[in-house]
């Protein structure tokens, strides 16, 4: 009896499969290609695609954004990743900057550094999958860039709880690591330590399809003070003495700045060598060098205290985008947002991208007293001439939790229209070919069959059934799925390549 049932099922399967919509159905019905049409003479044509880099930092240190806590299951980790990416997609963000190295640790399987404690609660103990590979695949499927964010020098953050793994730098190379206050710090004056950090970057760039590599404002550590309110100097005398014995002549402050300069230079050269389309981003403290600041701006000098000569990096072109942390409200005159924004634009001789960081989490915290419209107005200021072309939110949790309604406000206002990131004209990448539109079972799909794979599609659409209706813009995911559209729409589509260049436009009537 059992044998007869199995034989009946086997004989029925070829008949039932097409009727039930199983995997064989695509073989018996081919998609219909919708012919591209030249624009009608004198017809209204859509404008250029809106362009703006819209990103959020996803901080993993101290479980600020992701994971929400230590010790989550693999399924919970993946679910939180998807929730963040879906939130970003619904907000019309186009990039995520994910922290993958907080303190000489890793959020991906690495032979060079141990798993971060902010995953399992135990440094060196990781999940049963590759979180970074999952982030990249899911971000790309949504047309969202993924930039890997590293801290190049911190070795242990003050909120760390787990003991150091046997493979952590503080154990394997204690001569590189210095205690400074309640943190451990990799000495930037140790040449081998710098080489190790670059090896971490090489590993990431070789193994992962990253859209960018990003470093933040932690160069030499922010100074701590003694009981007399005097800065305690960073304990780098051993590396300093080796430098002097080797014939070095720079004064201590210039030597420290040169240590950081050389890491930034070598990092940029490494990215250009290994992943030519990836962008290098740096997010320094938001105040310029004291002698280059706009009138009325006062405060901390990263040039003198962190030994970060950011203006020199801009002059040399050792980065593709600068994301200065403009973490103050407009009303704070000594660090006023707009003068600082214009000040950074003024020290950009090579025309690199300037995409400021916004303190969205603080603005979305009611107890801080920021105006509800602070972030939207700052975005408006960035869009005013001379426009910056983008910005980043610190951090994602404020948007994910919709604190003070910030996500709803942006979705309905500043981000009501989608945008693709600006082109990066000093980089090059293969171009995308013309767009093809296909219809199957009433559903439409874009593809680009010639040239480079499309990272996304730019789509303008207009309802020709309604006289005078305007063009509407959206960014379509790389799978090109448009769903069903009623007849009467005019579509103008193009494919976007790895550096956001637009391929040839094609017009379709559906």
pLDDT tens track for 154-163: 999 999 999 9
Assess whether 142 and 240 both reside in one domain: yes
State whether residue 420 is helix, strand or coil. Answer: strand
How many domains would you assign to the chain? 2
Residue with tokens 């006289």: 467
Q: How many CB atoms lie within 10 A of CB 41?
A: 5
Domain boundary among 412, 444, 463: 412
pLDDT class for 449, splitting at 50, 70, 90? confident
Q: How many CB atoms lie within 10 A of CB 21?
A: 9
Closest CA to 237 of 276, 204, 190, 198: 190
**Residue 16 domain flag:** no
Give residue 20's pLDDT. 40
Q: Count of alpha carbons within 13 Å of 458, Cβ hemisphere only?
A: 24
Give residue 11's pLDDT. 39
177: CB partners within 8 A, 6+ apart: 155, 169, 170, 184, 185, 186, 187
What is the average per-residue pLDDT within 417-438? 97
Assess whether 130 and 215 both reside in one domain: yes
pLDDT in tens, 20-38: 444 444 445 788 999 999 8
Assess whether 349 and 459 both reside in one domain: no
Domain boundary among 380, 412, 444: 412
Q: What's the distance, CA 222 to chain centroid? A: 24
Domain boundary among 385, 412, 439: 412
Assess whether 490 and 343 both reside in one domain: no
Decide if 478 contacts 141 (C-beta within 8 A).
yes
Assess whether 201 and 133 both reside in one domain: yes
Assess whether 456 and 355 both reside in one domain: no
**Residue 12 domain flag:** no
What is the average per-residue pLDDT within 170-181? 98
| Domain ranges, residue 211 | 53-412
Assess whether 444 and 346 both reside in one domain: no
d(CA 443, CA 488): 15
214: CB partners within 8 A, 6+ apart: 97, 147, 148, 149, 150, 280, 281, 282, 283, 323
Q: Does residue 14 register a pLDDT over 90?
A: no
Closest CA to 81 of 400, 406, 419: 400
What is the average per-residue pLDDT within 343-367? 97
**Residue 23 domain flag:** no
Q: Does residue 170 register a pLDDT over 80?
A: yes
Q: Does residue 136 register a pLDDT over 80?
A: yes
> What Rg do the C-alpha atoms of the chain give, in angstroms?
26
Assess whether 402 and 445 both reside in one domain: no
Q: Does residue 451 register a pLDDT over 50?
A: yes
Give residue 28's pLDDT. 58
Q: What is the dihedral of CA 507, 431, 98, 183, to 10 degrees?
A: -150
**Residue 420 domain flag:** no
Give residue 185's pLDDT. 98
Cα–Cα separations (whole angstroms), residue 459 to 153, 404, 419, 449 = 43, 32, 11, 17
- The CATH number linked to 82 is 3.20.20.80
Assess whether 152 and 279 both reside in one domain: yes
Q: Which is more confidently placed, 4 or 401?
A: 401
pLDDT in tens, 192-241: 999 999 999 999 999 999 999 999 999 999 999 999 999 999 999 999 99
Structure tokens that stand for 460 in this block: 């303008």
Percent residues over pLDDT 70 in the chain: 94
HEC secondary structure over 237-294: HHHHHHHHHCCCCCCHHHHHHHHHHHHHHHHHHHHHHHCCCCEEEECCECCCCHHHCC
Q: Does residue 19 register a pLDDT over 80?
A: no
Assess whether 36 and 77 both reside in one domain: no
What is the average per-residue pLDDT within 85-113? 98
Give residue 7's pLDDT. 40
Give residue 476's pLDDT. 98
**Residue 118 domain flag:** yes
Q: Does residue 6 register a pLDDT over 70?
A: no
Mean pLDDT of the chain: 94
Cα–Cα separations (whole angstroms), residue 474 to 19, 49, 151, 394, 488 = 35, 9, 35, 25, 18
Q: How many CB atoms lie within 10 A of CB 100?
A: 28
159: CB partners within 8 A, 6+ apart: 61, 62
Give residue 41's pLDDT. 76
**Residue 442 domain flag:** yes
**Residue 10 domain flag:** no
H-helix or E-strand spanning residue 172: helix 169-172
Closest CA to 419 of 143, 82, 211, 214: 143
HEC secondary structure over 365-417: CHHHCCCCCHHHHHHHHHHCCCCCCEEEECCHHHHHCCHHHHHHHHHHCCCCC
**Residue 418 domain flag:** no
Q: Does residue 468 register a pLDDT over 90?
A: no
Assess whether 436 and 378 both reside in one domain: no
- The CATH number linked to 503 is 2.60.40
Assess whether 75 and 185 both reside in one domain: yes
What is the average per-residue pLDDT within 146-174? 98
């Amino acid at each position: 009896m059992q044998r007869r049932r199995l034989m009946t099922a086997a004989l029925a399967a070829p008949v039932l499969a097409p009727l039930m919509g199983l995997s064989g159905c695509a073989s018996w019905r081919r998609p219909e290609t919708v012919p591209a049409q030249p624009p009608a003479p004198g017809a209204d044509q859509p404008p250029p695609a809106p362009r703006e880099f819209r990103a959020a930092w996803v901080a993993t240190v101290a479980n600020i954004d992701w994971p929400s806590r230590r010790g989550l299951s693999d399924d919970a980790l993946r679910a939180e990743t998807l929730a963040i990416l879906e939130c970003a997609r619904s907000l019309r963000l186009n990039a995520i900057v994910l922290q993958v190295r907080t303190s000489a640790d890793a959020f991906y399987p690495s032979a060079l550094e141990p798993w971060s404690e902010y995953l399992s609660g135990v440094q060196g103990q990781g999940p049963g999958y590759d979180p970074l590979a999952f982030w990249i695949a899911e971000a790309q499927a949504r047309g969202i860039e993924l930039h890997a964010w590293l801290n190049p020098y911190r070795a242990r953050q003050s909120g760390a709880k787990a003991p150091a793994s046997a493979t952590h730098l503080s154990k394997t190379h204690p001569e590189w690591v210095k205690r400074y206050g309640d943190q451990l710090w990799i000495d930037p004056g140790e040449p081998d330590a710098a080489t190790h950090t670059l090896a971490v970057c090489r590993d990431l760039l070789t193994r992962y399809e990253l859209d960018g590599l990003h470093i933040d404002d932690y160069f030499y550590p922010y100074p701590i003070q003694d009981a007399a309110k005097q800065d305690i100097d960073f304990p780098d005398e051993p590396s300093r003495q080796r430098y002097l014995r080797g014939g070095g002549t720079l004064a201590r402050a210039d030597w420290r700045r040169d240590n950081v300069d050389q890491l930034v230079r070598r990092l940029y050269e490494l990215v250009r060598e290994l992943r030519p389309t990836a962008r290098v981003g740096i997010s320094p403290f938001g105040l310029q060098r004291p002698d280059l600041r706009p009138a009325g701006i006062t405060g901390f000098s990263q040039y003198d205290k962190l030994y970060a000569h950011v203006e020199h990096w801009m002059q040399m072109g050792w980065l593709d985008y600068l994301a200065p942390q403009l973490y103050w409200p407009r009303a704070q005159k000594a660090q006023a947002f707009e003068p600082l924004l214009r000040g950074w634009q003024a020290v950009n001789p090579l025309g690199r991208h300037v995409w400021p960081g916004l303190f969205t989490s603080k603005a979305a915290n009611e107890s801080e007293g920021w105006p509800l419209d602070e972030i939207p107005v700052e975005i408006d200021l960035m869009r005013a001439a001379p426009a910056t072309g983008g910005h980043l939110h610190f951090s994602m949790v404020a948007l994910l939790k919709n604190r003070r309604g910030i996500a709803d406000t942006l979705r309905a206002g500043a981000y009501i229209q989608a945008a693709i990131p600006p082109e990066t004209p000093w980089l090059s990448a293969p171009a995308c070919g013309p767009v093809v539109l296909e219809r199957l079972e009433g559903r439409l799909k874009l593809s680009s069959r010639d040239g480079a794979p499309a990272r996304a599609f730019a789509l303008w659409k207009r309802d020709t059934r309604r006289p005078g209706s305007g063009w509407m813009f959206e960014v379509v995911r790389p799978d090109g799925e448009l769903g069903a559209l009623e007849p009467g729409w005019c579509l103008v589509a193009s494919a976007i390549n790895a550096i956001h260049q637009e391929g040839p436009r094609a017009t379709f009537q559906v």
